[in-house]
Amino acid sequence: MRISWLETKNRGYTLIELTMTILLIGILAVGSISVMEVSLVEDQFDNTVKSMLEIRNALIGDPEAMKDGIRTSSFGILGDIGALPTADSTYALNALLLNPGYPAWALDITSPFGIGWNGPYLSNVSFTTSSIKDAWGVPYIYNVASDGSGILTSLGADKVAGGDGANKDIIMSLPVNLIKATVNGFLLNRGQPFIGAAIVTIYYPDGQGFLTSATQNLVQSDAGFFSFPNIPFGTRLVTVTITDSAYYAQTIRTLFTVDRDKYVIATNFLNMNLNKKVPPGLPPDIEAILATGVPPVAAVVAAQLSPEAAATLAAGLPPAIAAVAAAAGVPAVEVAVAIAISAVSVPGVVPDAERKIPPAPPGCWNPGYTPIVQKGELIFVAWSYIDNRIGINLVGYYGLKNIILYQKTVDWIRYINNMTVDEQNKTVSLYGQSRVITIPWSDMVVK
């Protein structure tokens, strides 16, 4: 029997064919739904992690935002308040959106940095005061430990603790080493450790948005070192007040940003240029000016002398020195004050980093290292003679102007390579070629 094409075309589907088609469509539909569900869970996981990072940055800033080793982000509510919000219902994460009672942010009179609530710290519109939730609609679990660290937790897709895979809890730690620091510093005087008494105070927010401080009283044995534990990250202030009776009073203030748990304040912020108090023995007019806190700088003191006192001091200069001052265009009274202060000052060896070698007088030189001793504003250099005699020319300069005010020949030594000061015996030792000679301070006074 022959079946025509037309007859074949009009034949219907069998029951088996329809059943198989329906089963295949069902299988494909189930597979598609499973893929969509997996994709949705992955999106929810990624969105939750993203929102947890936003909350972390609102709490403590972004610790990974660094450039050249320096933190570039803010420090969130931690930087402004001084601690993470507590986990109770009044504060918790809601403190990132609405001020729950902290003082409003303001610049403090004492410290030149702002403290207080400066929110909202979360800018994402998906966060509301009634709903800081994960992508599955469950509020985050937020806890703060006694050491100040915190933990932020999402229960995951199954919305209950524990689980595996997408159901596993997502936990973000806020460790204490991203929250608190030990702040260390070294006081220097002209590049050397400061040996003396000082009061060091650090200012920071107290954890409730109010300014607080901690203080250390340094003594000589501290050699300028100080350390403050448990200082919250953020911009902070240190003040140093010199209280040592050997120095004129001075206070320095330095701002810095604490961004690591073991923080050392840069030494250039704490390097002072202190002047020791001038011992008694000055003319009364100069002594009275220095007693007001004016530094022992000849030009500054001379400018504050009365005309009568200035004229008296200038008239007392030896004629040769007065002529040298006039030739250099320096007021005679300024030179007189420099000589008077130097006469009673304790000498000291000038550090290498601060040495500025003045021009040698005629007939003198130094073929090698040139040490310098400073006494007030006068500096003393031991020059060798060009004719190679066994002796040196100890020359005193008014250091700021390189004016020679003093010359003294010291025999039996040459090529000075070191000078030391003995404060107890009030002497200066000169170390030369195969010999050391010690002279008293009284030999280093311009007369």
Backbone φ and ψ for 12, nearest 5 degrees, come out as -80, 170
The first and second tokens of residue 302, run together, are 């001379």
Read off the pLDDT band of 433 (50, 70, 90). confident
HSE at residue 216, side-chain half, CA atoms within 13 A, is 19
Q: Is the pLDDT of residue 34 over 80?
A: no
What pLDDT is recorded for position 198? 96
What pLDDT is recorded for position 125? 54
Q: Is the pLDDT of residue 203 over 90?
A: yes
Read off the pLDDT band of 5 (50, 70, 90). very low
Give the residue from 418, 421, 332, 436 showing the smallest Cα distance to 371: 418
| Residue labelled with tokens 């039996």 | 412
Q: How far lies 306's CA from each of 180, 284, 315, 392, 422, in Å?
A: 55, 12, 14, 40, 37
Roughly how many angstroms between the first and final C-alpha of the chain, as a whole number?
A: 148
HSE at residue 402, side-chain half, CA atoms within 13 A, is 6
Give the residue from 301, 292, 399, 281 showing the smallest Cα distance to 348: 399
Q: Which CATH class is domain 180-272?
A: mainly beta
What pLDDT is recorded for position 428? 95
Read off the pLDDT band of 341 (50, 70, 90). very high
Q: Give per-residue pLDDT as tens, 36-51.
A: 445 667 888 889 999 9
User: Cβ-count burial of 190 within 10 angstroms (0-12 exposed, 13-18 middle, 19+ buried)?
Assistant: middle
d(CA 421, CA 437): 12
Share of the chain above pLDDT 70, in %: 89
What pLDDT is recorded for position 23? 63
Q: Give per-residue pLDDT as tens, 344-384.
A: 888 999 888 788 899 999 999 887 888 999 998 999 999 99
Torsion sign (Cα): 160, 162, 164, 168: positive
Q: At what angle do helices 307-315 and 332-344 cross, to 10 degrees?
A: 80
Read off the pLDDT band of 33 (50, 70, 90). very low
Read off the pLDDT band of 32 (50, 70, 90). very low
Q: Is the pLDDT of residue 330 over 70?
A: yes
The first and second tokens of residue 26, run together, are 């069902």
What pLDDT is recorded for position 26? 58
Question: Which residues, including other chains, have CB under 8 Å from residue 88's CB and lie 6 or more apart?
Answer: none
Q: Do 150 and 83 touch, CB atoms closer than 8 A?
A: no
| Residues across the chain | 447
Better-predicted residue by pLDDT, 12 or 147: 147
Please give the model's pTM, rounded to 2 decimal places.
0.66
Q: What is the mean pLDDT of the chain?
A: 87
Give the residue from 217, 214, 241, 254 showing the smallest Cα distance to 230: 214
What pLDDT is recorded for position 4? 40
d(CA 137, CA 132): 9
Instruction: Compute the C-alpha angle 176/180/184, nearest 5°.
Output: 135
Q: At what angle do helices 319-328 and 332-344 cross, to 10 degrees?
A: 120
Q: How far lies 188's CA from each of 145, 194, 314, 349, in Å?
A: 38, 5, 37, 16
Q: In what order do the strands lie in the sheet with 198-205?
A: 211-218, 198-205, 234-242, 251-258
Instruction: Compute the C-alpha angle 276/282/286, nearest 5°.
Output: 85
From 66-70, 300-304, 336-340, 437-441, the region with the lowest mean pLDDT: 66-70
Share of the chain above pLDDT 90, in %: 59
Q: Is the pLDDT of residue 9 over 80?
A: no
Read off the pLDDT band of 224 (50, 70, 90). very high
- List beta partners, residue 179: none
Q: Give per-residue pLDDT as tens, 109-155.
A: 777 888 999 999 987 655 665 568 899 999 999 999 999 999 999 99
Backbone φ and ψ for 107, nearest 5 degrees, come out as -75, 125
DSSP for 284-339, please give it.
HHHHHHHTTT--S-HHHHHHHS-HHHHHHHHHTS-HHHHHHHHHHT--HHHHHHHH
What pLDDT is recorded for position 36? 45
Q: Do 335 and 398 touch, CB atoms closer than 8 A?
A: yes
Task: Tell me the average pLDDT across 192-202.
Answer: 94
What pLDDT is recorded for position 245? 83
d(CA 119, CA 288): 54
> Across 95-177, where does the E strand assignment appear?
106-107, 114-115, 141-144, 150-154, 170-174
Read off the pLDDT band of 35 (50, 70, 90). very low
DSSP for 431-442, please give it.
EETTEEEEEEGG
**Which residue type occupies 254?**
T
Read off the pLDDT band of 209 (50, 70, 90). very high
Q: Is the pLDDT of residue 89 over 70?
A: no
Helix (H, G, I), strand (E, B) or coil at 268: helix
Q: Give per-residue pLDDT as tens, 251-275.
A: 899 999 999 999 999 998 999 878 7
Helix (H, G, I), strand (E, B) or coil at 145: coil
Read off the pLDDT band of 3 (50, 70, 90). very low
